[in-house]
Each structure stands twice: as structure tokens, then as C-alpha cells.
Amino acid sequence: MPEKETLKRAAEDKREGKAPSTQAGEFVREEMDHIREGKHGARSTKQAIAIGLSKARRAGVKLPPPRKGAASEATRERAERDYQKGKEPAHAPSPKRSRATDSALKREGRQSASHAAISRHAHAAAEKRSGAQRHGAARAKHSSM
């Protein structure tokens, strides 16, 4: 369950007309904070980000699942399920499943949320994109400032 503060910040982003990915970024930030605080760990930075995006979709952020070919079929199906869950009224999570997830994540390392790990992930993610895509993103960011 996301913290109230995170939900408030995401709602504020939505009111300001910011993109769904920006709204979802609040949930990713929360996840990174949880890992840094030692609440739980993650196997990789990618997993930590995925957990945050999943929470965002379930909280009702209109973040569509990745397009075909952009992610594995299993990831797309899970994202689609989370997206649909976000459209329905929320109900209490299964305590047994929740405990199992928590205990599994507690066994994982804490390095996935370090500044170095996030930096490495950002660099690797940017490297996968074409120059034109990176240029377009930079222009979009610059024009909004």
C-alpha cells in the first residue's frame, strides 16, 4: 500500500497536468526510499523500478502497459492486470500473499537503490535508445522548462 504522502504528491502532479510517467515517478521514489531505509531490498534497480510502477498502476495512475516487443509477454500481462486493478475500487490485500512478498524482498540486497546503481541503470537504459529518441526526449524536457 503506497504511503499517503506519495498518493498526495502523485495527485498534485496530475492536477498540474504532468505526464502519467511523472506521476508514477513518485511511487518509484517511494520504493527507492524504502530500500534505502532497509524496509526491504530488491534484486536489481530494474526490479525496484518495476515495483514502483506496479504500485502506481494499482493506485490508479493512467500509465498504460508497455507496447508489444518493449517488454516480455509476462511483464506486459502483469502490467495490464495492475492497470485494470487501478480502475476498480481497492480492497484489502491478502495478508498471506503480502507477508510472502515482504519476506522474499527482505532477503534481497539493498545496493539496488544506491546512487551508483541507479546511475548505471539510467546509462544502460539510455544506451538502448536511439540517438533520435534521446534527442527528442531532451528537446521535450527543454521546451517544458
Residues 6+ apart with CB under 8 A from 42: 31, 35, 48, 51, 105, 108, 109, 112, 113
pLDDT at 95 over 80: yes
Asked if residue 55 lies in contact with residue 83, where contact means CB atoms within 8 angstroms, the answer is no
Would you state the pLDDT for residue 70? 87
Q: What is the DSSP string of 96-112?
A: HHHHHHHHHHHTS-SGG
Distance CA 75, CA 126 (A): 20
Would you state the pLDDT for residue 20? 96
Would you state the pLDDT for residue 142? 80
For 35-63, b where at least 16 C-beta lie within 10 A, e where not — what string? beeeebbbeebebbbbbbbbbbbbbbbeb
| Per-residue DSSP letter, 17 | T
Tens digit of pLDDT for each residue in 5-62? 999 999 999 999 999 999 999 999 999 999 999 999 999 999 999 999 999 999 999 9
pLDDT at 105 over 90: yes
Would you state the pLDDT for residue 49? 97
Average pLDDT, the chain: 94
